[in-house]
Amino acid sequence: MASVLVPVFYVLIVFGGLFLFGRFYRKSTANKRIDPYFPRHHERDTYVTLLQRTDPPASDALLKAALVRRAIADVQRILRLREDKQALQNLLQKGSVGDDLWNSLLAAEKELEAEIVEVHAEANSFVEGWGHVLFQTASEMLANEKTRVIVEQIPLERARNEAKFGKGLPGTTQAPPVAASAPSGPTTPKSSAATKSPSSLAPPAPSAGTDGVSSEGEASPRNRSAKKSKKRK
């Protein structure tokens, strides 16, 4: 009888411990606060603050500018989520990161989707159809801003490189080459053929061969007449 009860008690203890552990783990996970993936959205707070002003109320131009800045911040977050999601998924499969960071990214993605819908509705409240063009305009403004930052850094990088490596070759001046001294002995005059440029495109004059054949391979008139007289004889 005792031999039968021992395995039963063992199974009850194991499954009971697993059930209690899973229950407490689910409670701790549900009560655990997920850290935000992105910092606080200051552009959204600025727009809401301007929208709630009543004395004096904010102008439409100011509200539109604040909404554009809010859309630019949303585009930046969209680009970062696209870059981080694939890399974070690969790291999660390898076990390099925990589930907390992945859950934080998923929560940020859902929050960003709701943010895009809200910005789209706010843009249409100013001008009908502006919501379809707002994010494209924000993307172009973000690209122009990045280009402007790069252009502004060019003089600094140039000054840093000149201080490190010296001035470039185009700015340096080279000394003129020293002419060779003339020989002390008498010089022989050059012929006209030597003074003629070797790159002349004029063809050379034909010269008669030693066997009575010209340079073009034809017999001279004197040889032709001699051959005709021999045949007559």
| pLDDT tens per residue across span 62-103 | 999 999 999 999 999 999 999 999 898 889 888 888 888 888
Is residue 146 over pLDDT 80?
Answer: yes
Of 64-68, 91-95, 162-166, 193-197, the range with the lowest mean pLDDT is 193-197
Residue of higher predicted confidence among 209 and 4:
4
Of 21-35, 58-72, 123-137, the range with the lowest mean pLDDT is 21-35
Is residue 199 over pLDDT 80?
Answer: no
Distances (CA, A) of 233 to 208, 221, 227, 229, 230: 28, 19, 10, 7, 5
Question: In this structure, are residues 69 and 75 in contact, taking their beta carbons and an 8 Å threshold?
Answer: no
Write down the pLDDT at residue 33: 65
pLDDT band (50, 70, 90) for residue 17:
confident
Average pLDDT, the chain: 76
| 3-class secondary structure, 51 | helix
For residue 99, what are its two tokens? Answer: 């589930």
Write down the pLDDT at residue 25: 67
Is residue 210 over pLDDT 60?
Answer: no
Gap between the Cα atoms of 225 and 151, Å rounded: 87
| 3-class secondary structure, 19 | helix
The neighbouring-strand residues paired with 214 are: 208
Place of tokens 């999660």: 92
Place of tokens 């008498």: 186
